Chain A
Amino acid sequence: MRIVLFAAVAISLLGFVPAKTQAAGEVVLEEQEWSFDGPFGRFDRQQLQRGFQVYREVCSSCHGLDYIAFRNLQEIGYSEDQTKVLASEYTIEECCDDQGDIFDRPAIPADYYPNPYPNAQFARASNNGALPPDLSLMTKARPGGPDYMYNLIIGYEEPPTEMAEEMMVGMYYNTVFEGNQIAMAQQLFDDLIEYSDGTPATSDQMARDVSAFLHWAAEPKLEVRKQTGVRVLLFTFIFTVLAYLLKRRIWADVEH
């Protein structure tokens, strides 16, 4: 009886898991091996820096990264001075000086990454009516996370014949985007950028790096979360074993 009931509970718990995956639709994502997968997963700082380079040199002309401040880049291995230099390349509009005028100043590490467009209307107007979404939470906002991101960026093809007719003007065929028509043109081509660490910049490599970087941007506390988890779980496990032994001992005199 007990086992059956436990099994039933387990099955009923499984019951709601598929609810999450259904939104991914029929598209099969080609899953990548990420350094941050698994119970002890960690970010690969080198990869994150490469990914940041891709974001900065390619994606940042259209996509914002609202939740990342320059100071946060120290978490992926840049020194304080490097972030200062990096920030100073951007200008921030500040309100206001003593005369009440808006003025420009160089960004400092505490500033957030500036958005490429002043507002959403402007962004749409510059992109054929489509809004390039902010990327700082993107991997958590799509089923499949970094795998979706990777597949999306390299998922450009000629539309299959039965779709070719339907393609709207200014739309591109993409294998994983919902509806297969995306307003973002293919962005990555081999050797589009030159990696500062010398890694060959194939489009595959860049897609993987920028996806890893954006996953860090979405979940910057992933490492400390998993590390804390290991310690907490170990402690809880010992607690549970001791509680069990104590329970056996105390119940030894009860017939049941």
Chain B
Amino acid sequence: MSTEKGWGMRAFDWFEERLPIVSFIDNSVGSKYPAPKNLNYFWNFGALAGLVLVIMIVTGILLAMSYTPHVDHAFQSVERIMRDVNSGWLLRYMHANGASFFFIVVYIHIFRGLYYGSYKSPREVLWWLGIIIMLLMMATAFMGYVLPWGQMSFWGATVITNLFSAVPLIGDKIVTLLWGGFSVDNATLNRFFALHYLLPFVLVGVVVLHIWALHIPGSNNPVGIDAAPQDKIPFHPYYTVKDMFGVGVFLLAYFTVVFWFPNIMGHTDNYIPANPLSTPAHIVPEWYFLPFYAILRSIDDKLTGVILMFGSILILFVLPWLDTSRVRSASFRPIYKVLFWVFLIDCVVLTWCGAQVAEGLPLILSRVGTFWYFFHFLVLLPVIGWIETPKPLPISISTPVVAKPAE
């Protein structure tokens, strides 16, 4: 055998010299990207979120080919997709449930970050980009839910857009702008469709920045200390194969819902065509908005409720500075670890409250839950950082034996 390169290899080299795209990919998520060797399965969720984004865009574009954004035809066009478009039911169920799974995956991804302190220096910008991704997802999902023009689509849109009327002075102007008129109507549906088509691609752009920002310091890890070069392994094949396994497990769950319980996360009222003259008994947003909805309704004053609701997300931007501890992983922070779990439970309680009628016990619980949500970030995190004594940190990832106490 000669050592001379084959023509295929030479053509490849020729191309790479001019556009080194393969090396770029290899450097980003391939064999040239070193990752800590101790990442656990919670580190699979970033890749999974990327997968769901791709699924959403592909199914979404295919749906858009048969969807009609007009108040008189939208509901019917979705039903035609379900009945007459080849595999339309599959596209629609994959898209509708894909949105829910997107949030499941991203919420787990975020709580992973909270537990292991992934938002701390030097990853603050990476964390910000993550929050921007979440906000974009929320806007996209909210507008997507309006498109089938069922009862919940219409009334959800009415309730949420009306929130902006609480803004002093220009509130009504904002609402008129959102609606494109004086009520949720055809103009609203049209602009929501345009934006629903656009935002996922903005999302792709921010995801690229997110991954770029990740590559500057590299991945955090369950121990939370900086990984030394000897504790790193190439992303490919180690993490590509691990992600492949994760994708398999994820798809098992996702397909089970898509093929056997496709409506379990939806609301039955959305199979009733929108009717501006008949308000449903309970207007409930999609489950992924419930904790924020509970915060909104915990306060009687509309403006305060709106501020708290948006504040509950915006506060995440300053989290890297609210948390005064320099130890990243909760595994070494006995008090924070407890607080993390309490906070997670708090979010679950708020989710439950968001689905109930805002009175009696659910209202009391959403007030307590809202208080705790902000108390956690604004008071506990700064204070705990000062008073907590972290457990001794290992010197390196491969030295489990603790040699010296952390500073």
A250 at the interface (CB under 8 A from B): yes
- Alpha-carbon gap, A220 to B90, bound state (A): 13
Specify which of B115, B259, B344 is in contact with A229 (CB 8 Å cutoff).
B259
Minimum Cβ distance to chain A for residue B355 (Å)? 3
Interface-located stretch among B37-45, B119-127, B132-140, B159-167 = B37-45
Given the complex, which residues of B lie within 8 Å of A124, measured CB to CB?
A: none
Q: Is A39 an interface residue (CB 8 A)?
A: yes
Task: Determine whether the beta carbon of A239 is less than 8 Å from that of B263.
Answer: no
8-24 of chain A: CB within 8 A of chain B: 8-9, 11-13, 15-20, 22-23
Which chain B residues (360-399) contact chain A, with CB distance < 8 Å? 398
Closest 7 CB pairs of A and B: A229-B259, A240-B248, A19-B355, A16-B287, A141-B271, A243-B245, A221-B89
Smallest CB gap from A230: residue in B:
B259
Question: Chain A's nearest CB lies how many Å from the CB of B270?
Answer: 8
User: A39–B256 Cα gap in the complex (Å)?
Assistant: 10
Give min CB distance, B341 to chain A, whole Å.
Answer: 7
Contact indicator A16/B351 (Cβ below 8 Å): yes
> Please, which residue of chain B has its CB at the minimum distance from the CB of A255?
B398
| B249 nearest CB neighbor, chain A only | A240
B343 to chain A, nearest CB (A): 11
A67 contacts B by Cβ under 8 Å? yes
A91 at the interface (CB under 8 A from B): no
The docked-state distance in angstroms from the alpha carbon of A230 to that of B260 is 10
Set of chain B residues within 8 Å of A72, measured between Cβ atoms? 83
Indicate if A169 sits at the interface (CB-CB under 8 A): no
Chain B residues in 8 Å Cβ range of A5: 42, 115
Report whether A12 and B248 are in contact in the complex, using a CB–CB cutoff of 8 Å.
no
| Shortest Cβ distance from residue B58 to the other chain A in the assembled complex, whole angstroms | 16
Chain A 24-66 interface mask (CB, 8 Å, partner B; 1/0): 0000000000000001000000000000000000000000000
A1 touches B331 (CB 8 A): yes
Interface presence of B237 (CB below 8 A): yes
27 A–B contacts, CB within 8 A, in A order: A2-B40, A15-B348, A16-B290, A16-B351, A16-B352, A18-B355, A19-B355, A22-B356, A23-B268, A23-B269, A23-B281, A67-B79, A133-B272, A140-B271, A220-B83, A226-B260, A228-B259, A233-B252, A233-B255, A233-B256, A236-B251, A237-B248, A237-B252, A246-B241, A246-B244, A247-B245, A251-B242
A96 interfacial contact with B, CB 8 Å: no
Interface residue from A22, A243, A244, A247 paired with B355 (Cβ < 8 Å): A22
The answer to whether A17 touches B255 (Cβ under 8 A) is: no
Distance between B10 CB and nearest chain A CB, rounded to angstroms: 30
> Do B272 and A141 have beta carbons less than 8 Å apart?
yes
What residue of chain B has the Cβ atom nearest to residue A144's Cβ?
Answer: B268
B213-254 Cβ-contact flags toward A at 8 Å (1 or 0): 000000000000000000001000110011011011101100
Most buried by B among A16, A20, A133, A254: A16
Given A15-B348, A67-B79, 18 more A-B residue pairs with CB atoms under 8 Å apart are A1-B331, A9-B108, A16-B287, A16-B351, A22-B356, A133-B272, A137-B272, A178-B281, A229-B259, A232-B255, A236-B251, A237-B248, A240-B248, A241-B248, A243-B241, A250-B237, A250-B238, A251-B238
In the bound complex, what is the Cα–Cα distance between A240 and B242 (angstroms)?
11
Best-surrounded residue of B260, B351, B352 (most CB of chain A within 10 A):
B260
A67 partner residues in chain B, CB cutoff 8 A: 79, 83
**B347 in the interface (beta carbon within 8 A):** yes
Closest to B288 in A: A16
Determine if B264 is an interface residue (Cβ-Cβ < 8 Å): yes
Give the distance in Å from the alpha carbon of A121 to the alpha carbon of B331 in the complex. 66
A235 → B minimal CB distance (Å)? 9
Given known A16-B351, A221-B82, A247-B245, contact A143–B252 (CB-CB < 8 A): no
B341, A239: Cβ atoms under 8 Å?
no
In the bound complex, how far is the Cα of B89 from the Cα of A23, in angstroms? 25
B173 within 8 A of A: no
Min CB distance A1 to B, Å, is: 7
A111 to chain B, nearest CB (A): 14
CA distance A225 to B354 in the complex (A): 32
CA separation between A63 and B290, bound complex, in Å? 36
The closest CB in chain B to the CB of A141 belongs to B271
Q: Assess whether B344 is in contact with A240, with CB atoms less than 8 Å apart.
A: no
- Chain A residues with CB below 8 A from B82, complex form: 221
Shortest A57–chain B CB gap in Å is 25
B262 within 8 A of A: yes
Known pairs A2-B41, A12-B351; A244 contacts B255 (CB<8 A): no
B265 and A229 contact, CB distance less than 8 A: no
Given A2-B41, A9-B108, A67-B83, also A19-B268 (CB < 8 A): no
Q: Do B255 and A229 touch across chains, with their CB atoms under 8 A apart? A: yes
Contacts of B37 in A (CB 8 A): 254-256
B326 CB within 8 Å of chain A: no
Chain B, Cβ-Cβ closest to A251: B238
How far is the CB of B214 from the nearest CB of chain A, in Å?
Answer: 21
CB contacts (< 8 Å) of B244 on chain A: these are: 243, 246-247
Instruction: Find out whether the CB atom of B90 lies under 8 angstroms from the CB atom of A228.
Output: yes
Least CB separation from B75: chain A residue: A137
Residues of A within 8 A of B256 (CB): 229, 233
Q: How many Å lie between the Cα of A39 and that of B352 in the bound state?
A: 29
Residue B282 CB within 8 A of the other chain: yes
Which of A22, A133, A244, A251 is B248 in contact with, Cβ under 8 Å? A244
